Structure 1
């Protein structure tokens, strides 16, 4: 995988616009209630001795639909931006924790643990740090760590003490800390963090180190050396900003080798990006990739948890840094659960609702189709459905249409991979511009979220081709 170029822009893009390629109707969306049926990802992970969490950022705390999911689905929160140096020490010796404290308070109010991110990083530094004389910088770094980690003592379970100190070839990144302090600055940072908060687990965190390669080898050798020297390091974070279909084959082996050094491992910033727009095939591959990452973590006892780098496509950093790419997370921009969500859910031991119905066909001259309706998930006041259209004819379709009648109290709020119109209780879904051609015996799928009052009956559908 190529390095996430423009990473500094990434963290500033936490409130990026929704991925344009995801096809959805322009209706108001009812977010899933916190009182959804069945366990959450956080609960499922906890049952396996892990955590499953999400990063977040301050602007999104004002979005009630977003916070309803953030506060109920996850057992852990990472402060995406506002614990970084430019926010907490904008000028030398002046500390400001107001924004980061808001996120920590949110987590505490929802019984969620907090990962601290990050104490020492070459990006998002205030300009004054670069101007500190070499003879003073170690003291400045120690003072920063002592204040920030000290302020959050007892409130943060992990600290990403040093972030992204290696280049792709395994050489040390020539940051201001490396240039002025040399190789020893990382060890000094860990010592200072341990002194400031003896109970927090201390992590080194980096990207493109998920598989075994030159960069992860350099990280491995550093951790091994630290353990031999008695430098206080407790874990490593594998960021896991991955590309669709490119989960490293050596991921589990890599996690295991770090665990064998006597440190914990966390997947700290998981997302899996694709070329947009989404389609059923890309969604299926992304689901398989999320499942593979989750299974790799579950296979190693010292892999302690997984954090997605925010949970909704509408709040992802990817589109602003990788034009034409996105849809990298487990919820879409309307907070509907994607196939990738359900892959993680099942990998963690959850069981999906599988009620289905196969419906009537129509067509002539060798054409025809079936539509199979499935309730993917339900919660108080809402549900997510999925319809699979199969071409039962002998020639490829050029288009398809599925119709059904909603029961009283049901609505369709958001739909993807198709275009929807409603007339009272009558729903008509036609193919999108990219999935109308279906080969004989081939399938395509569209999904939707809706509201329901009381019962949520399975409707009878009709399917027609053109």
Structure 2
């Protein structure tokens, strides 16, 4: 198993999509494989020496349309839940890594690096931790870190060592660790993590520290003190759970001031929530907000990557915690790319794809076919249906004929019919209505041999 730094280099090199210059972290960019596919977010980020990733959780690993996107679009994965204490040490001294190992294995199989999340947090603790006597808790914490970080040694490039240790006013959160160990517990956690896995980058991670304020000032002062004392801290994670239209104006300045302390910065849990339902104006604002955040990271050399907190609105934590809010991510619940996706795509240096063919039968319904990723023997495609008329559509059908023996092997957000090389896709009941000027999409997996040319597609209304 390569060391974490080497794994980052390999992943960035393997997913880079340009061959000029060097990566921002000083690593040469490898030439990409020849393909007609448009670059992914992971490839675009890698070309700039960064990663663009997603959090994920175990129940979704059995969802083929979900994993098709997760495994191809991103070059980094965060284990959303199952590396937390309640999963990894449910009983004192008894460790269980089966669920977290599944996600790490998925990432390795798809050439993705892994951020570990999280070693010490006041939430999602096993129930028994609260009852540990004060005189024993430091040893228990060290033992937990030693075992968990040791188990994933060489497989995780970053660890969120301590998570959410500050209140909004900059005071220490009165967690069980703070109350029974005291202020020193954070430094002790970082020391234990360094001993357990010297190759992983060690992060402090928190929310509402994206802009400059009392809470981010407290974190800044802690990091500054740790650097002066020689406490092993390598990075700060800005969770970036943001609200539509409220991206802090000081986000870039804040990233830069942490970087100036000599640590890396990552945007670790990005989502931008809105009052639902979505509409065109909210989508446009969300796209602008995502672009602002990505540009802020790209402007600071030591901002090493961005992770969205899952990628599809159907798997977001927001609606269950903030009633009436949601639609916070870059794919909708049906895995269609939202305007926010394309804002990120363009901010990372992507340009509108050249691998599309558009057909229009004169009805005002237009279909655009894209190969979004491709590998030996297989590919992922996406078709976007746009209503160019002034009235709403009540249904649609898209047809094409493959020219080189390709086959659709799995399709979502549409009803598939095939006859030889002829492919026809009708809308599902939930996505047949498309407003004037609006769009929807479906995705699919396919197989190919020899070549994978883009077919001419045609769209008809119901």
Q: Which residue of structure 1 aligns with residue 98 of structure 2?
A: 98
Secondary structure, aligned partner of 1:102: helix
Tell me the CA shift for residue 281 of structure 1. Answer: 2.2
Q: Structure 1 residues 374, 112: closer, same or farther in 2, change over 3 A?
A: closer
Tell me the CA shift for residue 261 of structure 1. Answer: 0.5
Q: Which residue of structure 2 aligns with residue 168 of structure 1?
A: 168
Tell me the CA shift for residue 83 of structure 1. Answer: 0.8
Deviations 1:413-447 (A, max 9, x none): 7779xxx9x9x9797999999996xxxxxx73222
Return the alpha-carbon distance in structure 2 between the equivalents of residues 218 and 333 of structure 1: 37
Tell me the CA shift for residue 383 of structure 1. Answer: 2.6
Q: Which residue of structure 2 aligns with residue 445 of structure 1?
A: 438
Q: Which residue of structure 2 aligns with residue 230 of structure 1?
A: 230
Q: Structure 1 residues 112, 400: closer, same or farther in 2, change over 3 A?
A: closer
Q: Map 1:35-434; keep pairs closer than 5 Å.
A: 37-353=37-353, 380=379, 382-387=381-386, 389=388, 406-408=399-401
Deviations 1:315-339 (A, max 9, x none): 1111111122222112222222222
Aligned residues: 406
Return the alpha-carbon distance in structure 2 between the equivalents of residues 98 and 251 of structure 1: 37
Return the alpha-carbon distance in structure 1 between the equivalents of residues 225 and 101 of structure 2: 35
Q: Structure 1 residues 246, 146: closer, same or farther in 2, change over 3 A?
A: same
User: What's the TM-score once normalised by structure 2's chain length?
Assistant: 0.78
8 A Cα contact 1:138 1:185, kept in partner? yes
Return the alpha-carbon distance in structure 2 between the equivalents of residues 289 and 375 of structure 1: 27
Instruction: Please tell me the root mean square deviation across aligned C-alpha atoms, in Å.
Output: 3.4
8 A Cα contact 1:378 1:384, kept in partner? no
> Which range is displaced more, 157-166 or 453-462?
453-462
8 A Cα contact 1:238 1:268, kept in partner? yes
> Which range is displaced more, 110-119 or 449-458?
449-458
Return the alpha-carbon distance in structure 2 between the equivalents of residues 447 and 461 of structure 1: 14
Tell me the CA shift for residue 208 of structure 1. Answer: 0.8
Tell me the CA shift for residue 450 of structure 1. Answer: 5.6
Q: Structure 1 residues 181, 280: closer, same or farther in 2, change over 3 A?
A: same
Return the alpha-carbon distance in structure 2 between the equivalents of residues 79 and 211 of structure 1: 25
8 A Cα contact 1:92 1:128, kept in partner? yes
Return the alpha-carbon distance in structure 2 between the equivalents of residues 326 and 207 of structure 1: 18
8 A Cα contact 2:413 2:428, kept in partner? no
Return the alpha-carbon distance in structure 1 between the equivalents of residues 429 and 143 of structure 2: 61
8 A Cα contact 2:359 2:457, kept in partner? no
Secondary structure, aligned partner of 1:444: coil
Structure with larger RCO (C-alpha < 8 A, sep 6+)? 1
- Which ranges in structure 2 are unaligned for 5 or more consecutive residues? 1-34, 374-378, 418-422
8 A Cα contact 2:294 2:344, kept in partner? yes
Q: Structure 1 residues 229, 459: closer, same or farther in 2, change over 3 A?
A: same
8 A Cα contact 2:162 2:205, kept in partner? yes
Return the alpha-carbon distance in structure 2 between the equivalents of residues 428 and 267 of structure 1: 36
Tell me the CA shift for residue 266 of structure 1. Answer: 0.3
Return the alpha-carbon distance in structure 2 between the equivalents of residues 44 and 432 of structure 1: 30
Secondary structure, aligned partner of 1:148: helix
Deviations 1:72-130 (A, max 9, x none): 22111111111111111111111111111111111122221111111100001111111
Larger Rg: 1
Q: Structure 1 residues 139, 429: closer, same or farther in 2, change over 3 A?
A: closer
Q: Structure 1 residues 359, 92: closer, same or farther in 2, change over 3 A?
A: closer
Return the alpha-carbon distance in structure 1 between the equivalents of residues 137 and 352 of structure 2: 54
- Which ranges in structure 1 are unaligned for 5 or more consecutive residues? 1-34, 363-369, 392-396, 437-442
Return the alpha-carbon distance in structure 1 between the equivalents of residues 398 and 58 of structure 2: 41
Return the alpha-carbon distance in structure 1 between the equivalents of residues 326 and 181 of structure 2: 38
> Which range is displaced more, 111-120 or 331-340?
331-340
Q: Structure 1 residues 428, 345: closer, same or farther in 2, change over 3 A?
A: closer
Return the alpha-carbon distance in structure 2 between the equivalents of residues 435 and 243 of structure 1: 27
Return the alpha-carbon distance in structure 2 between the equivalents of residues 123 and 212 of structure 1: 25
Q: Structure 1 residues 456, 180: closer, same or farther in 2, change over 3 A?
A: same
Tell me the CA shift for residue 276 of structure 1. Answer: 2.0
Q: Structure 1 residues 72, 406: closer, same or farther in 2, change over 3 A?
A: closer
